[in-house]
Amino acid sequence: MRRLTDLLKCVRGATAVEYGLIAATITVAMLSALTSAGNQTSGTFDRIATEIDTAASN
């Protein structure tokens, strides 16, 4: 019975799960931010390429 009560009082597993959830949330936030930044950067480079092509053809 003592081992069962000791096991129920153990919070190390819960703490590890909480840290895992925090890490997963941070990872998702970083991926969405980087995807957004990448799309904006791609759009900027596309506009620059179009301007260069237009200037070169004139």
Share of the chain above pLDDT 70, in %: 83
Please calculate the CA angle 28-24-16 and round it to the nearest 5 degrees.
170
- In this predicted structure, the answer to whether residue 49 has a pLDDT above a threshold of 80 is yes
Total of domains in the chain: 1
Mean pLDDT of the chain: 86
Q: What is the mean pLDDT of residues 9-35?
A: 88
Look at the pTM and tell me if it is higher than 0.85: no
Q: How many CB atoms lie within 10 A of CB 23?
A: 10
* DSSP classification of residue 50: H
Helix (H) or strand (E) holding 47: helix 12-57
Domain boundaries, position 7? 2-57
Q: Distance (Å, rounded) from C-alpha 47 to C-alpha 40?
A: 11
What is the per-residue pLDDT for 11? 65
Q: Distance (Å, rounded) from C-alpha 28 to C-alpha 30?
A: 5
